[in-house]
Amino acid sequence: MDGQHAAAGGNDMPATIAEAAVLLRRGEVSSRELTQACLDVIARVDPLIEACVTVMAEAALARARAADETRNAEDADLGPLFGIPLGIKDLYQTRGVRTTAGSAVLADWVPEEDAAAVTRLAEAGAIALCKTNTHEFAYGTVTPPTRNPWDLERTPGGSSGGSAAAVATGECLGALGTDTGGSIRIPAAACGVTGLKPTFGLVSRHGIVPLSWSLDHAGPIAHTAEDCALLLDAIAGYDPRDPDSVLREPRDYASAVAGVRAPEDAVRGLRIGVPREYFFRSIDPEVESAVRAAIGVFEGLGASVEEVSMPANIDDMIGVYRAVQRPEAYTFHKDQGWLDTRGELYRPDIRNSIRSGEAYTASDYIHGQQARRRFSAELHALLTRVDVLMTPALPVPPRKIAEVDTPLLFAGREEPAGATLRYTFPFNLTGQPACGFTSSRLPIGLQIVAPHWQEEALLRLGHAYQLATDWHTRRHTRRPPLAPA
């Protein structure tokens, strides 16, 4: 076991997908041992953090044994995800396993087919170990009752909070999330892991309970950018069942990351744009300091950093976002009939938020989409002058659960509690890829935004940062050791 492996895992079990894949290939660990180790962590930790909704222990162990038998019988490269235990956000349909979308409305729903991304992971040999908690119908950034494993009094972020918390504790080695306004990047930042919102249309959303069909993205959450690349290789690709899926030549994201032998390789000559307004206007001083220090790491590796101006109308975009997201959410739930037949089963705040979409007119929605297109064009123009944007992922460290409804105060100025979305949602409007990962003691997220279809660049930069720093390898004292069965 190499030094990095020992430091990350604290014992003989790997902490990352990439490490596990090497050990599986060498025969130094079995898929059954990996899976049982994750199940042991779930048994010890999940009563505290409540990240898992359903644990498929028996089925997962059976698949792990089958994976080991296949590996022992075949002298072939079975791929890096073969035999790896993963978490699946409970918005993704799983055949024969209940999918609740975090709601009592769907408490007993057992789908008859897998979501496209779940199918792709299975084809890669991955093992679906658990369904992870989501904010009800992905409509929020707190994910009750899941708790942040770094501090049980704090939120893990959301709506993919269960996925991020499960990865952070070692309950699984990676997980699927969804992102409509920040729901991959926010919990990744809050829980000290890595999350990638791919370009809109890269990963099929077929079989995922929607929040807002023109804003929803599906993507991976894992410990490292390298692991996110491995997951993205498996789940990316055209799917005619998703009307927004885009047919493109396949990319080898893992190879793009593996080509970074030294962090300078990926960073030298990079033009980083740091917005001079909006992203640093209402921000906790600790967050600003950590994010600027992280940007300084890239500058030290050879990047040039310049201040840039965001589109002048960015402050208006939250209204545009709501004019698109709320009518789409309402239309879906109304069309399903749930608001009329199961309305009492929604949490009151979620039901009220969904019903608020009824008040928007067709004109509101059309004007919102038009403003969204103009904003996207302006941001596209900005990203022809720099290679990437770097911003905070959150304005504050993970909030205490008891304070999530309290407005945020910055220099005496009050921001609504919903300000947790302000740094992430603009890039759902534009559909651009964005990556978030940790950069401080209590998790603080750095967000990197690239032009459309530049996932390789994002992942290479994330990997370079993680080669140059050790934030992603740090573990909180509550993390139990991964031990073989």
Q: Encode pLDDT of 198-226 as tens digits.
A: 999 999 999 999 999 999 999 999 999 99
pTM of this structure: 0.94
Regions of the chain with pLDDT less than 50: 1-11, 475-485
Q: What is the pLDDT of residue 411?
A: 62
Tell me which amino acid residue 482 is.
Answer: L
Domain assignment of residue 465, yes or no: yes
Domain assignment of residue 193, yes or no: yes
CATH number at residue 438: 3.90.1300.10
Cβ-proximal residues to 277 (8 Å cutoff; 6+ apart), any chain: 309, 310
Domain assignment of residue 2, yes or no: no
Catalytic annotation, residues: 89, 159, 183
Q: How many helices and strands, by DSSP H and E, does the chain display?
A: 17, 13
Burial (CB count within 10 angstroms: exposed 0-12, middle 13-18, buried 19+), residue 182: buried
Domain assignment of residue 3, yes or no: no
CA–CA distance, 287 with 289 (Å, rounded to integer): 5
Domain assignment of residue 355, yes or no: yes
Domain assignment of residue 410, yes or no: no
- Number of structural domains (the chain) is 1
Q: What is the pLDDT of residue 4?
A: 33
CA distances for 65 relative to 54, 82, 127, 360, angstroms = 20, 12, 11, 53
Cβ-proximal residues to 173 (8 Å cutoff; 6+ apart), any chain: 14, 15, 16, 17, 20, 34, 38, 84, 85, 86, 167, 222, 223, 227
Domain of 452, in residue numbers: 14-404+417-473
Q: Are the beta carbons of 389 and 383 closer than 8 angstroms?
A: yes
Q: What is the pLDDT of residue 76?
A: 78
Domain assignment of residue 478, yes or no: no
pLDDT, tens digit (0-9, with 9 covering 90-100), for 8-57: 333 467 889 999 999 999 999 999 999 999 999 999 999 999 999 999 99
What are the φ/ψ torsions at residue 14 (nearest 5 degrees)?
Answer: -70, 150
Q: What is the pLDDT of residue 407?
A: 84
Cβ-proximal residues to 280 (8 Å cutoff; 6+ apart), any chain: 288, 392
Q: What is the pLDDT of residue 481?
A: 34
Domain assignment of residue 179, yes or no: yes
